[in-house]
Amino acid sequence: MSKQTQKNLREETSRRSSNSGPQTGKIGVLLVNLGTPEGTDYWPMRRYLAEFLSDRRVIEWPRAIWYPVLYGIVLSRRPSKSGAAYAKIWNNERNESPLRTFTRAQGERLATALADHENIIVDWAMRYGKPAIKEVTNSLIERGCDRIVMFPLYPQYSATTTATVNDKFFEALAKMRFQPAVRTIPSYPGDSVYIDALARSIEGHLATLDFEPEKVIASYHGIPQSYVQRGDPYEAQCYETSRLLRERLGWDDKKLLTCFQSRFGPEEWTQPYTDKTVERLAREGVKSVAVFNPGFVSDCLETLEEIAVEAGTIFRAAGGENFTHIPCLNDSDDGMRVIEHLVRRELSGWI
pLDDT at 6: 52
Q: Rounded to an integer, what distance in angstroms lies between the CA atom of residue 126 and that of residue 62?
A: 25
Nearest to residue 106, comparing CAs of 343, 273, 347?
343
Exposed (0-12), middle (13-18) or buried (19+): which is 266, by Cβ within 10 Å? exposed
Is 316 found in the same domain as 206? yes
- CATH assignment at residue 212: 3.40.50.1400
Length of the chain equals 351
Residue 247 lies in a domain: yes
pLDDT at 7: 52
Is 219 found in the same domain as 171? no
Confidence band, pLDDT 50/70/90 cuts, at residue 265: confident
pLDDT surpassing 60 at residue 10: no
Residue 16 lies in a domain: no
- The whole-model pTM stands at 0.92
Residue 15 lies in a domain: no
Q: Residue 132 in 3-state DSSP?
A: strand
Is 277 found in the same domain as 258? yes
Residue 20 lies in a domain: no
Is 311 found in the same domain as 222? yes
Residue 19 lies in a domain: no
Cβ pair 270, 235 in contact under 8 A: yes
Confidence band, pLDDT 50/70/90 cuts, at residue 1: low
Is 282 found in the same domain as 213? yes
Is 163 found in the same domain as 37? yes
Beta strands in 70-180 (DSSP E): 120-128, 145-152
Domain count, the chain: 2
Q: 232 lies in which domain range?
A: 192-326
Is 284 found in the same domain as 152? no
Residue 4 lies in a domain: no
Is 161 found in the same domain as 98? yes
Is 91 found in the same domain as 204? no
Per-residue pLDDT tens digits for 113-125: 999 999 999 999 9
Is 143 found in the same domain as 172? yes
Per-residue pLDDT tens digits for 311-350: 999 999 999 999 999 999 999 999 999 999 999 999 999 9
Per-residue pLDDT tens digits for 149-181: 999 999 999 999 999 999 999 999 999 998 999
Residue 1 lies in a domain: no
Is 337 found in the same domain as 321? no
Tell me the DSSP string of 235-298: HHHHHHHHHHHHHHHT--TTTEEEEEE---SSS-BSSSBHHHHHHHHHHTT--EEEEE-TT-SS
Residue 130 lies in a domain: yes
Nearest to residue 108, comparing CAs of 42, 170, 189, 31?
31
Is 80 found in the same domain as 130? yes
